[in-house]
Amino acid sequence: PPLSRILSLADMQNVAKQVLSHKAFAYYSSASDDEITNQENARAFTRFFFKARVMRPVSQCDPSTTILGSFSSIPVFVSGAALAKLGHPDGEVNITRGCAQERIIQMVSSNASLSPNAIMEAADQSQTLFFQLYKHRNDEIAEKRVKEVEKLGYKAIFLTVDAIVAGNRERDIRSPWVLDEQEYGPVYHQPDEPKTPADANIFGTAGALIANDDRDMTWEKTIPWLRSVSKLPIVIKGIQCVEDAVLAAQAGVDGILLSNHGGRQLEYSLPPLEVLYAIRAEAPDVFNKLEVYIDGGIQRGTDVVKAVCLGARAVGLGRPFLYAQSAYGVEGVVKIIEILRREIITAMRLMGAASVHDLSPN
């Protein structure tokens, strides 16, 4: 359908389902086991309602914010998700160009189907990109990667800690890979990591992609190591409970992304919105020490506004960006950011908030 017919992120997903190969849709959409956590991530937002205030001036309404000091036109960023080329031949750079146009930040996956260099080359000079790190079990290989992306100009490292082994994604495993270079991109060809679609057919796509990652990361060892090899801000991606949020604050990192990997890792992990709420109740000092973000199941501007009210600096979206670039390339990416912006501004105005500073637990 023409892009003008796409009114919501759900509409975009419907188009993506039609244009994607069976394999691609299975890989993008699948989650662990019975996909309960994936569903609950979204459902958690239906349990929170607004206290709308009226008679407040909102003709000027500005939803912009900063994330780790970088401007963002709405409190939304792209959460790094692998293999964009499965959905569109231009892959991740569709997202890069859409983010440049709409001035939001893209976090690039360690398992992108394009190299960190190719993606940075497609970026505007003033554009901010973050890098999502899957830490290789060999510290020297991991250090090389971190130094490479820092030199290329990436502005933060999001260290993913919730995927030391792959979740059991049956819809992905059931759908076999076909040997098509165009589809899987260079990620399987990294010289130190011989991974083939044959591995993916046995272990699932994620199982093959993260086969060489470090399963023995700790607060004591891994954070000082990362600090010693890079000056970039560090965000821990995949915090799933209050206790670990407190440990992250004690470790002195710059941010935490409350996330269960879109329900793709531990089935019955808590929805991030619930964890955010629990941090406010049980350890509110965490919000003074670092920036807190959430991702998983965000579909609407009201979802974004709820998370910001409860203390999130910004929220990430994974699948919606993969779907948008698969369906319409750059224009699809621009479209879903526009939809989110319109929905966020409408919600803010109707609740009497003229800027993100007016959004509070109160």
Cβ closest to ligand FNR, residue 32 vs residue 79: 79
Q: Which residues of 131-164 are buried (b: 16+ CB within 10 A; e: fewer)?
A: bbbbbbeeeeebbebbeebbebebbbbbbbbbbb
Does the footprint of ligand FNR cover residue 318 (CB under 6 A)? yes
Query: Taking contact as CB under 6 A, which single stretch among the options 63-71, 143-151, 183-191, 256-264 is the one that binds ligand FNR?
Result: 256-264
The reply to whether 132 sits near ligand FNR by the rule CB under 6 A is yes
Question: Pick from 276, 270, 345: which is nearest to 75 by CA?
Answer: 345
What residues does 125 pair with on adjacent strands? Answer: none
Comparison of 22 and 56: residue with beta carbon closer to ligand FNR? 22
296 binds ligand FNR (CB under 6 A): yes
Extract the tokens encoding 217.
């990361």
Residue number with CB closer to ligand FNR (109 or 302): 109
Task: Tell me if 239 sits within 8 A of 248, measured CB to CB.
Answer: yes
Q: Which of 247, 292, 295 lies closest to 269, judged by CA?
A: 295
Q: Does 98 bind ligand FNR (CB under 6 A)?
A: no
Residues in Cβ contact with 157 at an 8 Å cutoff, skipping those fewer than 6 apart: 130, 131, 133, 146, 149, 226, 230, 232, 233, 234, 235
Residue 171 C-beta: closest distance to ligand FNR, Å: 12
Q: How far is CA 357 from CA 253, 361, 362, in A?
A: 24, 11, 12
Residue 261 known to be catalytic: yes
Residue nearest to ligand FNR (CB): 318
Site string for ligand FNR, 264-293 (x = CB under 6 A): x-----------------------------
Sign of CA dihedral 244, 246, 251, 255: positive
Active-site residue identified among 22, 136, 261, 357? 261
CB 43 within 8 A of CB 37: no
Q: Going residue by residue from 205 to 244, which x/- string records binding to ligand FNR, judged by CB under 6 A?
A: --------------------------------x-------
Binding characters for ligand FNR, 40-59, by CB under 6 A (x = yes): -x------------------
> Does 28 interact with ligand FNR (rule: CB under 6 A)?
yes
The β-bridge partners of 76 are 315
Confirm or reject binding of residue 81 to ligand FNR (CB under 6 A).
yes
Residues labelled as active-site residues: 261
Residues that bind ligand FNR (CB under 6 A): 27-28, 41, 79-82, 109-111, 132, 160, 237, 259, 261-262, 264, 295-298, 317-319, 322
